Structure formats: structure tokens, C-alpha cells
Chain A
């Protein structure tokens, strides 16, 4: 049974772009003791709706809790666990490496192999940009650490499900309501 196996899950949440919404999500992760490994958030294709990809560790049942609890946040419009949908998953990293002129060629060779890019050069350092799957990013970082990594930043995983079917967080739910005690 996959039900009880702890693994990394990729989830996508759509939320209204309102003040404090990140605070709500982050606060929920903390107080429900959810194990979140990375989180990336930005605009979606719909104005006013932000899209967050996050990676959480746990069982399928844990993920049901993550989904249903997040879904209870009023500003979260939709949430999906795409782990089993074989989504396209990418991460971007900027890595500042110590490299003297003698070492530079060796670093550039690695950059080529990983189809990364050099986006800044100084006499004794380089900034390398890589976009790829996390394990590719990890491998490059490991190799570059031999030269001395000065600083590094990773965006965390972003994901999108393949195929033409669009996933949006837009739901229209205008409901007429009246009076205390009635729906």
C-alpha cells in the first residue's frame, strides 16, 4: 500500500492575492506540524490569483490532511497533490563560486555539461544559473562545492501538469445570503 509510505509530495495551491495570505498558509504549516521542504510562490495566469508549489514529506494520508486543512483557509481557492500526475518539475538556483582564472575553464566545462549559464563574472568569482530538476541542481552544487561556493540561492520546486488540460484556481461562487442563523 502506498498509503503508509512516507515520501515527498508535490502540491500546488492557488490562493487569492490578498494581504496576509502567505502568513495564513505558513502559519497553518507550522501549527499543524506539517513537514514542508520547499515552497515557491508567484503570480498565476489569472490576475488576483497566486500559485504556490510546495513540497511536503509524509504519507498519502498526511497529504490528505495538508490538502483539506489548507483548503479550509478562506483565501485558498484550490489545492492539488500532483505527485502521481508526473508533472514537469523545475527549480532555479544561483550559485556564486570561487574560481581563479586557472579554475574557470574547469567550472565552465561543468556549466556546459549541466546546460547551466554563467550570469556574472569577476576576477575571482562566477555566478552560475541553473534551471533543472532538483537532482540535477544537487549534482551541480556538489561538483561546484569542490571549488568553494561563496553563496547560493534556490527557488524551490515549481511544477505544472503536462497536457492541454488547464489547471486554474478560479471558481465562481457568488452566493446570495440573508439573515443571522440562515444559510
Chain B
């Protein structure tokens, strides 16, 4: 016999049935019945009170990316729900599984512009994998079951369940469904088509200059080991997308770093010159490819992805392998022959050494430049093999982190790639730390983006999280300034920042901090932050005008990179 449960109880008990241990949220009128049930029945779910609902969505995102589980956020109707939208859009672009639960005005007020009413189902239609508006409690259990299933299967993504207040207050006999019935949903869980796999293997075997591009799909599928086996078996160099960083060890001899707009030059050369390109779990977006019709012009392209809509969306491909990266790589492995490709690897090594020669750390003066901070952080945190996870914001610092911090461990970099959401880092890091209490979590954020969500420092303190924060403070919206430098005749319109004293901001929350202005201090400051038992903020006041290179202008070919300047004679260290 099923017991009578309220809508609020059904939400918490469904979450428990899904194994949810932590939710990120902020209460308000329409969601109050659910919050009341959480306290009344003392459900074993830890609720993290956020400062702003955008933070709740990013926390659920950071939790999900770092654990592989579904992140859950919860908000009230109207502004509570609309504040989630940036976080949901971020998760949607980067295929992150989130279930967002929002309260909605009672059904009697729906459509009447009631207080705190917003059509959040309508608003989130383009930024969720699916969404629900629950006007009757009888639809709630199935919707929750389906929401979790849809969020985590196939290509993951955020799902929103909007529940009217009267449905939260109503009661019905409740047992959590054991099945979903979704006739229109095909998550492509089967092994990919054998003919496609065979064709892909043949192309790889015939290749003289093959390259693998590994995307986040490899990490979502936990296929890192298979990827490595494949690369090693046939000696194929591996590039990653920005989100694919960590899917292949960056210090592996076959790693060719990551490609695209600010990817390493030798990687872009390899992508442009390869004759077979095997993309695995990467959606080949414009930041990776440059102008679509100029990407990998000499290559037969094999695209492995779980989402059939990615096939040929941006890039004309030769072979589509539709399926989970793990199943696809397992199917490919026995059919791909051992190979050496010595001439190709030698050519890439040559490009690589030329790239290293232009390394900014070889040529800058004693000034504190951001790449130096990133490299110091890398040294201090086990050189990519430690238990540190870096969560970046968006902008110049994000690119330098990706260039100068070599990630060897899966999921050791969390970053907003697709939507490019400034303000992501701090809340996402909170989510990551909640899901991984033993990890060393580093926020790397610019001075602009950090200020977009820095009020979540209160959440850091409230939850007693030992998060370490490195602000790369150059007094500008740096990446925007860089575009102005390159494309807008150096008119710095709206980009200089009026910053607070970040150390004092930290202190106001009871967080220790210090500013760093000199190169010699950087490493020690990082060690000091690590040694401190609790959160710590470092304000790195870096050289202002350094820009990120290489750079591919939007709409241009990766072959037309603006390179790092070659070092002047005698300036190397």
C-alpha cells in the first residue's frame, strides 16, 4: 500500500530514491511547502543555501561535472527561477546533467500575471534538454523520474521541473516509479553500428597523418583508458577540445595539447595537416574549428558522438559513428591496427619545439604575468597528477590556465566552454568541493568574472569549504580588451575595471587572503594558501596588457593564427 504524501514529500523522497545527497537552492513563496517538508520530515538531504540562484545552478553544474552524478538545484517561482537561467544555459551548452526544481504560482493564478509568476517552462525551453510544468500532483512522480533519466542518459543536459504551489501542498498515494515510458526519447545507449565502426577503423588504419580530437564526451563516458589504449596502439597524436582537457594526459608523449582559437600552434598545425581526424565526443564548435570550411582541409573526418544531431552540423564529415564514446572506442580498439607514424610524429615534434621557443615564459621580463601564475599553480599542485581540480572562469585567465596548467587527471579542469559564462568559477567550485570533499579545489578567475558571483563567498564560509581562490587581476575585462586591441584599434570602450580590494572583500567574509604583485612571491603564496586550513584568496595583480596567443580571429582559418611573438635575442631566461 502506498502512503499518502504531499507534493513536497514526493520531491524529497524521489531525490533520495535517485541517490541525491546534496541540493543547492534558495527558498521563496511558491516553493515554501517543499522547504517545509524538508525540515518537518528531516530528510537526509543536505541543502546548501546559496546567495543568488545563479550560483545554485552553477553549483549543481560543478557538482555534476566533478562527480558524474546529476546535480540538483531548487528555487522559487518568478525571479528565483529566472535567476537559474544562465546556469541552465551553461549546463545545456556543456552537456551537464542537472535537475532544476522550481516552485510556481498556484494553478488558480497561472496565466494571470500573479505575484512572482514567470513562465519558466517557456523561458527555459531553448536551454534545457526537457522541461515540465506540473499543475497536478498526479504527474509529479513520473516527471521527477523522467527528469533524472533524461538528464543523465544519452547526451546529458539540464531538465527543469516547475511545480505549482497547490501541487506541492496536495497529497496522493506515492511510490516512486521504477520505469520511465518515453516513446520519443532515444538516448543511443547501444553499441554503434558495426559498418560505421569498420569504416572508421579502415580510415584510421590507412592514415599517414592521423589525429584524434578528444572531447568531453570521453570523460562523460569514462572512456579515458580506452582512448589511451587506442592512441598508444596506433601511435596517434591526441588533441583535445577545451572541455576535453583531462580526457587524455597532457604530459603523455602523444598529447598535442588542445586546439582552436587559443590552442597551441603546433596542435592547430597538426589539425590542419592531418589526413584522418578522429573526433570522439567533441562537437567541433567554432572555437575549435575556426571557419568551418577551412578546418582540417586535408582530412577524412570520422565523428564519434552520442548525439546524431552533431553529425555534419558544423563540419562536413566522412563517417558518422553514433554512440557512447566508451562503446565506440571499445568497438574500434580491436579493429585499429598497431602503427608507428614516425614521420608524422617527427613533424609534430618539430612544430612543438618551435612553439616552445615562443613560450611567453621564455621571453617576459621579471614582471608577474598570468601564465607564470598558472605554471606556478601547476608546480604547486602536483604538476597535473595531484588531487587538485581547477575551476576557471571565462576570459584570458581561462585560456592561460588551459595552456600553462597541464591536466593529466580526468575532470581536473571545470570550465564553461560553450556558453562562456563569466561568474561560473566560484559557485561551480563550491559544487565541486561539495561533491569531492577530499580534493583540493582551486578557483582561477579574472577580476571581472569573479565579481559577478563573488557573493557566494558567504556560501563558502557557511559550508566551511577549504576552497582556494586565485584572482588574476589585470584591472580589465581582459579578453574583451584583447579584442579591442586586435580588432577595434585599441579603443578600450567599457573594459577598464574599478575594482575593490579583493583581500578586504575576503576578510569581510572571514576568509584569509593576500595580494601578490611580484613573480618571486607567486609560488610561496600558493603554498601558503595550500597550507592554510580553510578557504584562502590570492589576489594576483598581474601585468595589465599581456594578451593571449596564439589567436585565431573569429571566422578565420586556424591556419591564420596570430602567433606569439618570437623572443628577442638574449631575452630568454
Contact = CB atoms under 8 A, between A and B. Distances in A.
Interface of A: 15-16, 19-20, 23-24, 27, 31, 61, 64-65, 68-69, 71-78, 169-181, 183
A72 B179 contact: no
B184 A73 contact: yes
B307 to A, nearest CB: 7
A76 B185 CA distance: 8
A2 to B, nearest CB: 15
A68 B308 contact: yes
B148 A180 contact: yes
Interface of A is mostly: mixed
Top 4 A-B pairs, shortest CB-CB distance: A68-B309, A180-B19, A77-B184, A181-B69
B184 A76 contact: yes
A27 B125 contact: yes
Given A75-B184, A175-B179, A180-B69, A23 B125 contact: yes
Contact of A177 (B145, B183, B184, B311): B145
Given A64-B311, A68-B308, A181 B152 contact: yes
Contacts of B67: 181
Contacts of B20: 180
Contacts of B121: 20
Contact of A72 (B126, B182, B307, B312): B307
Contacts, number: 90
Nearest to B176: A178
Given A65-B312, A65-B313, A183 B153 contact: yes
- Among A15, A31, A68, A72, chain B packs the most CB atoms within 10 A around the CB of A72
Contacts of B189: 183
Given A23-B122, A64-B312, A173 B152 contact: no
Interface string B132-152: 010000000000010011101
A31 B127 CA distance: 11
B70 interface: yes
A179 B309 contact: no
Given A175-B180, A178-B178, A61 B19 contact: no
A23 B123 CA distance: 11
B312 A181 contact: no
A181 B70 contact: yes
B364 interface: no
B125 A177 contact: no
Contacts of B307: 68, 72
A178 B428 CA distance: 26
6 contacts: A16-B183, A74-B184, A170-B183, A175-B182, A183-B152, A183-B153
B186 interface: yes
B130 interface: yes
Interface in B1-58: 17-20
A174 B177 CA distance: 11
Most chain B CB within a 10 A radius of its CB, from A75, A170, A181: A181
B65 to A, nearest CB: 13
Contacts of A20: 121-122, 125, 133
A15 B184 contact: yes
Nearest to A30: B126
A180 B130 CA distance: 18
Contacts of A27: 125-126
Contact of B185 (A15, A69, A173): A173
B312 A77 contact: no
Given A23-B125, A27-B125, A27-B126, A173 B309 contact: no
Interface string B180-207: 1111111001000000000000000000
A69 B309 CA distance: 6
Contacts of A174: 179-181
B68 interface: yes
Nearest to A20: B121
Given A15-B184, A76-B184, A180-B18, 4 more contacts: A20-B121, A65-B312, A175-B179, A180-B70
B130 A74 contact: yes
Contacts of A181: 19, 67-70, 152
Nearest to A24: B125
B13 to A, nearest CB: 14
A180 B149 CA distance: 8
A173 B183 contact: yes
A77 B125 CA distance: 18
A170 B184 CA distance: 9
Given A19-B133, A61-B312, A68-B309, A179 B125 contact: no
A75 B130 CA distance: 9
A177 B180 contact: yes
A174 B179 CA distance: 6
Given A20-B121, A65-B313, A180 B184 contact: no
Contacts of A68: 307-309, 311
Contacts of A77: 183-184
Contacts of B133: 19-20
Nearest to A26: B125
A181 B313 CA distance: 29
Nearest to A176: B179
A56 to B, nearest CB: 15
